Amino acid sequence: MSRRPPVGVLAMAGVAIGVLGLPLVGLLQRTPWSSLGATLGEAATLEALRVSAVVSLAAAAVSVMLGLPLAWVLARLPFRGRALVRAVVLLPMVLPPVVGGIALFFALGRRGLIGRALQNGFGVDTLIGTTAGAVIAAAFVAMPFFVITAEAGLRQLDPRLESAAATLGAGRWTVLRRITLPLLAPSLAAGATLSWARALGEFGATITFAGNHPGRTRTLPLAIAQANEAGQPEAAIAMSVLLIAVSLVVLVGLRHRWLAPRRRWPEPSQEIPSP
Amino acid sequence: MSRRPPVGVLAMAGVAIGVLGLPLVGLLQRTPWSSLGATLGEAATLEALRVSAVVSLAAAAVSVMLGLPLAWVLARLPFRGRALVRAVVLLPMVLPPVVGGIALFFALGRRGLIGRALQNGFGVDTLIGTTAGAVIAAAFVAMPFFVITAEAGLRQLDPRLESAAATLGAGRWTVLRRITLPLLAPSLAAGATLSWARALGEFGATITFAGNHPGRTRTLPLAIAQANEAGQPEAAIAMSVLLIAVSLVVLVGLRHRWLAPRRRWPEPSQEIPSP
Amino acid sequence: GGAGETTVAVYAAASLSEAFEDLAARYEAANPDVEVRLNFAGSARLAAQIGAGARADVFASANGATMGRVAAEGRTAAPPALFARNRLALVVPAGNPGAVTGLRDLSDDSLVLAVCAPEVPCGALARAVLADAGVDADADTAETSVRAVLTKVMLGEADAGLVYATDVAAGGDKVAAVPLGPQTRFNDYPVAAVSDRAVAAHFMDFVLGPDGRRILSDHGFGTP
Amino acid sequence: MSIHAEIQATVGGFAIRAAFDAPAGTCTAVVGPNGAGKTTLIHALAGLVALERGKIVLAGQVVDDPARRRRVPPERRPIALHSQHNLLFPHLSVADNVAFGPRCSGLAARAARRRAEEWLEKVGLAEAAGLRPAQLSGGQAQRAGLARAAACQPEVLLLDESLAALDAETRTDVRHLLADLSATRVLITHDPVEARLLADQLLVMETGEIVQAGAPEEVAANPRTPWTAGLLGVNLLSGRAAGTEVALDCGLALTTATPMTGPVLVAFSPAAVTLSTAEPHTSARNTWEAEVGRVQPEGDRVKVFLGPPAPCRVWVTPQAVGELGLEAGSRCWASLKATELTVRQA
Amino acid sequence: MSIHAEIQATVGGFAIRAAFDAPAGTCTAVVGPNGAGKTTLIHALAGLVALERGKIVLAGQVVDDPARRRRVPPERRPIALHSQHNLLFPHLSVADNVAFGPRCSGLAARAARRRAEEWLEKVGLAEAAGLRPAQLSGGQAQRAGLARAAACQPEVLLLDESLAALDAETRTDVRHLLADLSATRVLITHDPVEARLLADQLLVMETGEIVQAGAPEEVAANPRTPWTAGLLGVNLLSGRAAGTEVALDCGLALTTATPMTGPVLVAFSPAAVTLSTAEPHTSARNTWEAEVGRVQPEGDRVKVFLGPPAPCRVWVTPQAVGELGLEAGSRCWASLKATELTVRQA
Ligand SMILES: Nc1ncnc2c1ncn2[C@@H]1O[C@H](COP(=O)(O)OP(=O)(O)OP(=O)(O)O)[C@@H](O)[C@H]1O
Ligand SMILES: Nc1ncnc2c1ncn2[C@@H]1O[C@H](COP(=O)(O)OP(=O)(O)OP(=O)(O)O)[C@@H](O)[C@H]1O
Ligand SMILES: [Mg+2]
Ligand SMILES: [Mg+2]
């Protein structure tokens, strides 16, 4: 069933691409290409890029490691209040990032809910100004994306395939490793990508909760915001272009099927080309 | 294959719920319940709530209307540069919101790429201070979520079901209406929810592109940020609690299966309870 | 300085970032065994971080009220002192497309006008100045940060904006200032030591001292 | 490995209740109408459906006993299952699908691969080893699924309509393959020939219960329900006996060789009935006139359906059809020797 | 509605090339080994697989002709297809699945619902109307899929192994249901009985091509490939003829009644061969000694496989098996009358 889509659909898709893409084109058009090299060559920029890479990757990793079990529980374990937990998982998306940062203080700050426990148990005095704090802030806003995507993927999985594996002698972990996760791979990749992207662009919760410390918590978005505040819009734009370039390379580089479930059926167009 | 999950999984899920939930608990704990009523009763707060509702719903609607065709094209139409378009669709997620707002100016502002066209064609002088501007800013950051989720859903669909409908005499639109969309409903609902939630929490792009105008662009997140800047953290927290409450009601209220694909198989636990 | 045997953590409002980067450099040059660690963000954010127990030594706020709250919570080690003063400026995009000649023109509703929100100092200042001039201006946007006002003017998206005098230079040739005449209202910036470490008081003295004043005035700040 | 099963289980509101024993190395065929619960039964054996009551014992080891809260999970039962739906893993090649079970049993990758190739060879799918399941035809997919289950070399092999999509020639080959396995086999089939050829024991399921069990020939000779009789081609009529006279419910009276009393079932082979155009005068004790319903050629013989008074099926030669002018709506005489009748208490 | 099809198409590297005609209202059975391309063929008819060359003409209307860039989409062909995989819509109830086609044809909801109920009744699924497809057993799902296709009341009905999962009784009922339809039918089956009973025309497909077409009895009498011969139960041996003597490739020489020259195929029915323990002295012109392979009871007769020199199948009675002591590995004499042989140029 793949024939040339109706013109209306194509037109709407075009408008959508315009809405999402034109601002980027505008950004590129206004980019001060001559001074770009200078800005990007600055040690501070490279440092921010490094912090961004570390923080976003760590946040994505945390999101996957904690989010996968949570998604599994939400998808597979019927319990009272499941709808509530699922809604709570979405809340960090709704919270303005600044409030998110403040809420993180209330939980993990010195006087927060488990602040004392952190202090006594792990010797963590304060997370402000630490990369760990930046990672926590980024993971807080990024994890929901992974959880939602992974849960949807898990639910879409045919559980009979897992049963079939069990009847062939596969234990719980073998089923997970050889059947569930590979079948889920597209959803996991999509979720990890979404949460990585969200963590990479994260600004409000990070600057609030972890502060803006060069080399430790100053990520590219923080550096961009500061350049903007400091009256260096060119530098801000140059760094934004850097951020975009890095993202594009990563996103295009990921084999594009990762962003979408692996084909289980032949690409429809192979079977039914348009006349 | 549903047995009680390993303790490790439960523990990790617990940590995840902690990371996502504790900050909210902290927020609620520090909420100035006594003055809550006063803050929430203020006309300005209610006005911000109204603007938030209008803007987030409109942005979600725009995301669905434009995002669905785009998702369809990405999922079903093989074309060169598809990976690039898919990456571009993700970029608004990566962009720090302020840069997003500036980029929107470059596209739609007075001196933007199509600013003159807007001015001549639609008589739009400026989008600053207009609800339309706020909706555009929110849709810009929210649409990617819908597109990614809907595309993943479309790819997971068994195209043979659509072919089967065609052999039974269903035309293109009938297939779309009676087979594709209903089967996709869970993904669409999840995507719409994600993009609505993102639009509801949106701050940076909105204040940059559409400004902060009471009754027109001042959404709850803007009001919260303003209260916070103005040294009224209690009011900020009170409004955050309002935002959370509204979101929770909506998210829990949506039948929870909407957030996840409809079951095509019996709930596994019915078949295999734990011993 | 050196391997940074001592560090001093300075939390400064974002609008002070250029001035404080210079201050820090000069201070480190004069005190080679001290490393200055800067943290720039909005005053309210910094106050929240200090309230949450951040290891800050010095807090420079763009906002007297915010500093007042930090002091009221007992987080300051010494009473705050005012160290810089800022005036209001009216800026228009290069070429002045709105043909703005003074505050009076701001009552024109067809102009896109950006000011700060009345709850933040630059907004309070703008409102007071407008009231003094008897101008009834309807702003199209009430920004929570001065730089956001400046950004809109620089991009030509706003026809006029009310910002601090120190911001005009940051607009470069993209903006032009419209003279406002003599002013009687200002915004004064307080600074305070928030830890009782000696280096905190030392840095604060430096800011308030002659070197500090010179650097601040180089960046357009007045003296309170 | 012997099977002792007493199963009570429910899926989605449908309950089954079935008990049977299968000695080690035998083949048990399960037959029954669609929706009878056959699949549910073997899913219970495999551990995919939980027992509510009863127990399952394999070679003396209890693998399921809800009363004692004992329940060995599917992967630790010495059982492999080939599902009616194949359920090939879409992300693995055909060879990797088949090698999956051997790998799980601890075989090294290389050895598992060899085992997979052997089985693919056996089911005639050697060339498809590298394909993905989505690239297989229906019958090829079924062969792959069957090979995957068999390659586990399980002690108990459960087969759910595993030959249904195979072409006739392959079906015969695979039937012999199955006959040669040493595993205890339980197979579901709708093909009476398959059941009779393969099974040492036949279980007939209807609406969730085993209504009859026994050696295939035994069941064929003494079918206990019309469905079984129909499946195995035997005519079955119910009535009340008084001595050697049976008053059938349909109105006809038959003479039998076995004196009985009370409600009975009378069974007779379709081949035992002789048809003629005029009233026959032979040694046959039972004769009646009937209307001809369908006339249906089947292979080298023709099945004639007789209508009231005693609805039954009769096999005749194509020649007879022509000579007697049998066609739907015509009338004829049926005769049936008393010694051809099997009578059983109902 | 008559079908004229000349099909050349490719799916995933597998090419089919097939041409046939089917007069309006007839039933064409397609048989062939797994993976022969049968499903691909009817998918091409339905418009699910694009033609590379050729054309499809229904009742004089061209619905597919790549040369003229004409291509009627599946939904506008007067065709309904029942897939091998059923493909029920998981989000619709069984009744809504069956009512889908009628609704698409413009019927009002109520009328469509009635039509659906009628068909569900016909396939014995009336009680399952309200269930979701996931709640059906395998055979129930197949009946629902079949009902869904039939409820479209199409001019052409394509059936892909539609009876494979049905229980024996239902299969007979559905077979009669199908026989009574007025639609032109094309059905794929692995069941030779089904093919012979239902089909007016038999197409034999192998590796993407139609290797033989004709009335079932005609094909059975003159099978052109060993697969066809095997399917239809006829023995087929190849050799070179010189007059009435044929030197078979396997070494044996046979005498035939039809003089020929060059490479030939010799076909004979398994029932035509007589077995005995000693060398027979009868009028049969062809006798040879052979080793007994498998001995396989099938229904009320036994199929005996003879080994070299002339591998073939022979039907005998169970009595004969006992009397002659036939078992795998024993030896016996086979005799075959020359008039029983059919000889054709290869
Ligand atoms: N998940 C379910 N929810 C509701 N009913 C179910 C479910 N699974 C099975 N059933 C019902 O249980 C009954 C038995 O199903 P089962 O699959 O065991 O039948 P079967 O004997 O294998 O039939 P078939 O020969 O058609 O494969 C059917 O009537 C079916 O409707
Ligand atoms: N998407 C595909 N990709 C690659 N090969 C395919 C694809 N679909 C079908 N084939 C190949 O085409 C051939 C014919 O398949 P088809 O389904 O038409 O066979 P069939 O005659 O219906 O067989 P069966 O009796 O097993 O259903 C098979 O060998 C199969 O491997
Ligand atoms: Mg079944
Ligand atoms: Mg097929």
Are residues E203 and E295 part of one domain? no
Are residues E271 and E218 part of one domain? no
CA distance B71 to B86: 9
pLDDT tens sequence across D126-144: 999 999 999 999 999 999 9
Are residues D13 and D55 part of one domain? yes
- pTM, two decimal places: 0.83
Check residue A262 and give its pLDDT. Answer: 45
CA distance D134 to A267: 11
Smallest CA separation from ligand 1 atom 24, residue: D34
Are residues D206 and D321 part of one domain? no
Check residue B95 and give its pLDDT. Answer: 85
* Strand extents, DSSP E, chain C: 6-13, 34-41, 58-60, 81-86, 88-93, 113-116, 141-143, 160-164, 175-178, 187-193
Do C156 and B111 make contact, defined as CB atoms within 8 angstroms?
Answer: yes
Q: A136-150, B118-132, C105-119, E278-292 — which is least confidently predicted?
A: E278-292
Check residue D70 and give its pLDDT. Answer: 92
Smallest CA separation from ligand 2 atom 29, residue: E35
Check residue E60 and give its pLDDT. Answer: 92
Check residue A9 and give its pLDDT. Answer: 86
Check residue C5 and give its pLDDT. Answer: 66
The 3-state DSSP class for residue D301 equals strand
Element (H, E) at E246: strand E235-248
Check residue D321 and give its pLDDT. Answer: 79
CB pairs under 8 A between A and E: 18
Q: Which residues does B87 contact at the CB level (< 8 Å), separation at least 6? A: A247, A248, A251, A252
CA distance B133 to B222: 14
Percent of the residues in chain B that have a pLDDT greater than 70, as a whole number: 90
Mean pLDDT score of chain D: 87
Measured between beta carbons, which residues in chain C are less than 8 angstroms from residue B128? 112, 114, 140-141, 152, 157-158
| CA distance from start to end of chain B | 12
Interface ipTM: 0.83
Say yes or no: CB of residue D345 within 6 Å of ligand 2. Answer: no
- Biggest CA pair distance of chain B: 72
- In degrees, to the nearest 5, what angle opens at C-alpha A219 toward C-alphas C120 and B228? 20
| CA distance from start to end of chain A | 12
Give the chain E residue nearest A1 (alpha carbons): E48
Mean pLDDT score of chain C: 89
Whole-angstrom CA distances from D70 to A139, A173, D80, E243, E319 are 42, 21, 20, 77, 52
Token pair 């953590």 is found at C9
Tell me the residues of chain B between 235 and 274 that have a Cβ less than 8 Å away from chain D: 266, 270-273
Whole-angstrom CA distances from B157 to C86, C102, C179, D176 are 62, 63, 65, 39
- By the 8 A CB rule, do B193 and B259 touch? yes
The 3-state DSSP class for residue A220 equals helix
pLDDT tens sequence across E24-45: 999 999 999 999 999 999 999 9
Domain ranges of chain A: 58-214
**Buried-state track A39-53, b at ≥16 Cβ within 10 A, e below 16:** bbeeebbebbbebbe
Q: How far does A271 lie from chain E, in Å, by closest CA? A: 5
pLDDT tens sequence across C181-193: 888 888 999 999 9
Are residues E152 and E45 part of one domain? yes
Residue C189 pairs with which residues in a beta bridge? C84
For the cut 50, the answer to whether the pLDDT of residue B1 exceeds it is no
Copy the structure tokens of residue B92: 């608004």
pLDDT tens sequence across C148-175: 888 889 888 899 999 998 888 878 888 9
Are residues E187 and E56 part of one domain? yes
Are residues E283 and E179 part of one domain? no
Pick B87 or D188 by higher pLDDT. Answer: D188
Are residues E184 and E203 part of one domain? yes
Say yes or no: CB of residue D137 within 6 Å of ligand 2. Answer: yes
Mean pLDDT score of chain E: 87
Residue C190 pairs with which residues in a beta bridge? C82
* E167 alpha carbon, closest ligand: 1
Which segments of chain A have a pLDDT < 50?
1-2, 259-263, 265-275
Copy the structure tokens of residue E10: 């490719």
Measured between beta carbons, which residues in chain E are less than 8 angstroms from residue A272? 47-50
CATH of the domain at E133: 3.40.50.300
Q: Domain boundary at D211, D230, D249, which?
A: D230
Average pLDDT over residues B32-47: 86
Dist. CA D138 → ligand 4 center (Å): 5
**Alpha helices for D134-283 (secondary structure H):** 138-150, 168-179, 192-198, 216-221, 226-232
Residue D260 pairs with which residues in a beta bridge? D243
Tell me the residues of chain A between 9 and 28 that have a Cβ less than 8 Å away from chain B: 9-13, 15-17, 19-27
Which residue range(s) make up the domain with D335?
A: 234-345
CA distance A177 to A183: 10
* Residue E79 φ then ψ, to 5°: -130, 140
Smallest CA separation from ligand 1 atom 8, residue: E135
- How does residue C53 score in pLDDT terms, banded at 50, 70 and 90? confident
Q: Domain boundary at D230, D259, D293, which?
A: D230
Average pLDDT over residues D183-203: 86
Pick D199 or E340 by higher pLDDT. Answer: D199
pLDDT tens sequence across E58-95: 999 999 999 999 999 999 999 999 999 999 999 999 99
Are residues E240 and E175 part of one domain? no
Of the segments A214-223, A261-270, D226-235, D313-322, which one has the largest average pLDDT value? A214-223
Q: Which of E12, E48, E69 sits opposite A275 (nearest CB)?
A: E69
CA distance A162 to A165: 5
pLDDT tens sequence across C81-118: 999 999 999 999 999 998 999 999 999 888 899 998 88
Of the segments C191-200, D277-286, E244-253, which one has the largest average pLDDT value? C191-200
Element (H, E) at E115: helix E109-122
Check residue D304 and give its pLDDT. Answer: 84
Q: How far does C148 lie from chain B, in Å, by closest CA? A: 7
- By the 8 A CB rule, do E51 and E7 touch? yes
Percent of the residues in chain C that have a pLDDT greater than 90, as a whole number: 50
Say yes or no: CB of residue D135 within 6 Å of ligand 2. Answer: yes
- Give all strands of the β-sheet with D331-336 in edge-to-edge order: D274-276, D331-336, D286-298, D301-306, D312-316
DSSP 8-state assignment for residue E167: -
Tally of structural domains, chain E? 2
Pick A236 or B255 by higher pLDDT. Answer: A236
For the cut 60, the answer to whether the pLDDT of residue B118 exceeds it is yes
Do B211 and C143 make contact, defined as CB atoms within 8 angstroms?
Answer: yes
Q: How far does A273 lie from chain E, in Å, by closest CA? A: 7
Smallest CA separation from ligand 2 atom 6, residue: D135
DSSP 8-state assignment for residue B176: I
Check residue D282 and give its pLDDT. Answer: 61
Closest CA to D49 of D5, D6, D8, D104: D8
Are residues E274 and E215 part of one domain? no
- By the 8 A CB rule, do E268 and E238 touch? no
CATH class of B58-214: mainly alpha
CA distance A92 to A88: 8
Are residues E167 and E81 part of one domain? yes
In single-letter form, the type of residue at position A208 comes to: T
Are residues E209 and E335 part of one domain? no
Q: Domain boundary at E182, E211, E230, which?
A: E230
Pairing of strands E274-276, E331-336: antiparallel
Check residue A70 and give its pLDDT. Answer: 94
